[in-house]
Amino acid sequence: MWRPAAFLALLAAPAAAENIVSARYDAPTTRYAHGVLGDAVEWGALVMTGRSGQVFRLTLPASRVFEDT
């Protein structure tokens, strides 16, 4: 679990953050049966594109999801 956290912390650094030109959720999943806001689909990955066109993908373990509100 520390690896995704370390990766996100690195991306949050000012030098790295200014190189990210887009980010989107990916890998829709229903593995987290929460749905309190009426949408049962959450996200299992975050895809970021850098200024140079390089694509970074952070895929969470099956026990975690990104919640979009």
Would residue 69 count as lying in a domain? no
Tokens of 67: 């919640």
Would residue 41 count as lying in a domain? yes
Residues 48-57: tens digit of each pLDDT? 999 989 999 9
Share of the chain above pLDDT 70, in %: 65
pTM: 0.68
Report the side by side order of strands in the sheet with 55-59.
20-29, 42-50, 55-59
Q: How many domains does the chain have?
A: 1
Would residue 52 count as lying in a domain? yes
Would residue 20 count as lying in a domain? yes
Give residue 18's identity as a one-letter amino acid code: E
Would residue 68 count as lying in a domain? no
User: Is the model's pLDDT at 20 over the cut of 60?
Assistant: yes
Would residue 67 count as lying in a domain? no
Contact 21, 37 (CB under 8 A): no
Domain residues for 36?
2-59
Specify the pLDDT at position 32: 79
User: Is the model's pLDDT at 16 over the cut of 80?
Assistant: no
What band does 11 get if pLDDT is binned at 50, 70 and 90? low
Angular region, 68: left φ>0, alpha ψ -120 to 50, beta rest: beta
